[in-house]
Amino acid sequence: MDRTYDPNQTVLFPDLFDDITLPSITTLPDFDHALENFVRLADFGAFIQLNFSGIDKSFSLKLSELKIPRKYLSKSRALTSPVFHLFPDDIRNQLNRMKYEVRSFFTKNNSIKTSFGYFLFRNFFLKWDLHRRKVLDDITEFLLNEIGAESYNRYFERIWTAGNHWIKSNLNKKNPYLIQDYTFLIIEKDRKRLEKAGATLYHLDRKEPDFLLNSLIIKTLHIPHTLSDYVNGISVFSTFKTIYLEYLKTVKIESIEDIKSLFNSLQRK
């Protein structure tokens, strides 16, 4: 599909597509017809775009990003680290199953699946919101009861240590940096300090002994260091999407089959 947006076109509700070239509506009858179809489409339901936030947490490191002086690097250095995941595979798999449970709500009986998301029938709006809330509660209960704060702290320390060891493995013995396994309390204290200062990798002095400590803290700031912060950062939400009015000026929306035909025509373009 050609997605070149024409800023001169008259578009109503232009948030279904990022950008697309469409013929403008130039006559009042076409506008009235398209608007009538839009109202009928809204009577049947709405596009739902499903989003998960805060569940998947990981980080990776690159020597090119850290910009450690070459004279301090090992000859057998690795340019890029593996991806360090916050949780081990079994917990990540369980969380993925719960994410799938959210999507399992959508069936051919309550929605139409399209490449733009799900078109959810209006009489299922409340049931969808209740289902979404329930799964979010289930995820929270799993994290609090099955993992707990102490285990979460250990998982955080584990990936921190893995990243720390990866950095250390790429340094030679002449490097000036303090490389050691830090306790959770030290990491927590320095995180608060760097967050308050708004520090970035660019701001760090690469000659300072604690440069690599601060670098690793900054690279992991997006990962909550406590379970309560992690849980509070999780969201499962749906965004209601609309459609270009121009798509509706030459069609007739009177039934679910008409809506399916419209969506099929859009996906072929």
For 63, other C-beta atoms within 10 Å of its C-beta total 17
Q: Cα(187)–Cα(98) distance, rounded to whole angstroms? A: 31
What does the angle CA 88 – CA 93 – CA 95 come to, to the nearest 5 degrees? Answer: 100
Q: Cα(227)–Cα(158) distance, rounded to whole angstroms? A: 14
Q: What is the pLDDT of residue 21?
A: 54
Residue type, 195: E
Q: What is the pLDDT of residue 1?
A: 40
Residue in 261, 53, 225 with CA at minimum distance from that of residue 216: 225
Q: What is the pLDDT of residue 93?
A: 95
pTM for this one?
0.77
Residue type, 146: E
In contact, 102 and 50? CB cutoff 8 Å = yes
Q: What is the pLDDT of residue 269?
A: 56
Q: What is the pLDDT of residue 23?
A: 57
Q: What is the pLDDT of residue 139?
A: 95
Q: Cα(101)–Cα(92) distance, rounded to whole angstroms? A: 14
Q: Calculate the alpha carbon distances from 267 to 74, 101, 110, 117, 135 in Å.
A: 52, 26, 20, 12, 31
Q: What is the pLDDT of residue 100?
A: 92
Q: Cα(158)–Cα(34) distance, rounded to whole angstroms? A: 57
Q: What is the pLDDT of residue 13?
A: 43
pLDDT < 70: residue spans in the chain: 1-23, 26, 267-269
Q: What is the pLDDT of residue 129?
A: 92
Please report the sign of the dihedral spanned by the C-alpha atoms of residue 23, residue 25, residue 27, residue 32: positive
Q: What is the pLDDT of residue 149?
A: 94
